[in-house]
Amino acid sequence: MLFFLSLGLIAGVVFAVKAGFIFNKISLGEDGIFKNIVKTLPGVKDQLKGEEEGRINVLLLGMRGENVPGGGLLADTIMVLSLHPKDMKKEGGDTARASLVSVPRDLYVKVPGREEQRKINAVYALGEERGKGGGIEDMRTIVGEVTGLDIPYAIVINFQGFTDLVNAIGGITVNLNESFSEGMQFREPHVCDANVYTVPTRPPQYEHKYYTRSEGTRYIAKSYLLCYNKDQEWGGGFELPGGANELDG
């Protein structure tokens, strides 16, 4: 739990500021980050995979969430976190170095286990169609191929997890050089219905229901027209002044 909470905190900060930078130092308790991680991982007695070689790689994935419209299982945030335990040992303290690298979500790749190419952000969703856990396995495989790294660990966070995480740490501070405003938030299309989502998208957009034949090929079995909410969604406009802003989840 401590291991994943630590990674979740790192991921939460990254998602909040859309960072593409290197974390210089990470500290965790008297024994140091790696001893603490080892103590909390079930089945790990002595060390983590990669510790002896000097690099422990963790895949971080961010997505909307299962059953959330608009591509809920598309991994639009893909990052590789590398922890460097040998730096800590050299310094003789509880401080270690970590580096963080983003993988473009539109990178075109061959989907593991399939004879097709798709954008890398779709690999997780396609893997989950095979079975629970297939998405994370396929993403570890393809990101490992892209980066040339062995990636033994992975963590996924969705919008709800992100919201809960920010609230759990008491909110975050976002500093803006100038004010920000958006007239319409989250105006996303949903399957049309008779009461709420009644304004058809222009040009028409559809949500497809896919089925897989016995030989493995996929086809569209049903298509649903998408519509917008007739009213402004999520309270309409959103504004933040320049300077420091304290935001909750």
Give dist(CA 198, CA 31) in Å, integer: 58
| Whether pLDDT at 172 is above 90 | yes
pLDDT, residue 17, reads 42
Q: Is the peptide bond before 241 cis (omega within 30 degrees of 0)?
A: no
Same domain, 39 and 117: yes
Give dist(CA 149, CA 51) in Å, integer: 14
CA 207 to centroid of chain Cα atoms: 22
- Of residues 146, 153, 140, 156, the one with CA closest to residue 56: 153
**Confidence band for 229, pLDDT divided at 50, 70 and 90:** confident
64 backbone dihedrals φ, ψ, rounded to 5°: -65, -45
Same domain, 137 and 192: no
pLDDT, residue 139, reads 93
**Tokens 């169609």 belong to which residue?**
129
Question: Other CB atoms closer than 10 Å to residue 115's CB: what's the count?
Answer: 8
pLDDT, residue 214, reads 82
Per the CB < 8 A criterion, the answer to whether 33 and 9 are in contact is: no
Same domain, 160 and 192: no
Beta strand pairing status for 172-176 and 180-182? unpaired
Same domain, 190 and 130: no
Angle at 23 between CA 240 and CA 59, to 5 degrees: 95
pLDDT digits (tens, 9 = 90+) for 127-154: 888 888 888 999 999 999 999 999 998 9
pTM, two decimal places: 0.58
Report the amino acid identity of residue 11. Answer: A
Same domain, 178 and 217: yes
Same domain, 95 and 182: no
Question: How many domains does the chain divide into?
Answer: 2
pLDDT digits (tens, 9 = 90+) for 189-211: 889 998 888 989 989 999 988 88
Mean pLDDT of the chain: 78
Same domain, 30 and 123: yes
Of the three residues 168, 193, 208, the one that is the final residue of a domain is 168
Give dist(CA 229, CA 35) in Å, integer: 51
Angle at 147 between CA 63 and CA 149, to 5 degrees: 105
Per the CB < 8 A criterion, the answer to whether 76 and 62 are in contact is: yes
Same domain, 181 and 162: no
pLDDT, residue 189, reads 83
Same domain, 223 and 136: no
pLDDT, residue 216, reads 80
For 159, the domain range is 2-168
Range among 55-64, 66-75, 209-218 rated most confident: 55-64
Task: Report percent pLDDT > 70 for the chain.
Answer: 71
- The helix/strand/coil state of 172 is strand
pLDDT digits (tens, 9 = 90+) for 69-109: 667 888 989 999 988 876 655 555 556 678 899 999 999 99
**Confidence band for 184, pLDDT divided at 50, 70 and 90:** low
pLDDT, residue 27, reads 39
**Which CATH number belongs to the domain containing residue 123 in this structure?**
3.30.420
| Whether pLDDT at 34 is above 70 | no
Same domain, 163 and 184: no
Of the three residues 168, 197, 219, the one that is the final residue of a domain is 168
pLDDT digits (tens, 9 = 90+) for 13-30: 554 443 333 333 333 344
Bigger pLDDT: 57 or 49? 57
**Confidence band for 9, pLDDT divided at 50, 70 and 90:** low
Bigger pLDDT: 31 or 229? 229
Same domain, 118 and 227: no
Same domain, 181 and 104: no
| Whether pLDDT at 12 is above 70 | no
Q: Where are the alpha helices (DSSP H) in the chain?
A: 2-17, 33-40, 85-91, 123-130, 134-147, 159-168
pLDDT, residue 177, reads 96
Distance from the first to the final alpha carbon of the chain: 21
Of the three residues 151, 168, 185, the one that is the final residue of a domain is 168
pLDDT, residue 26, reads 37
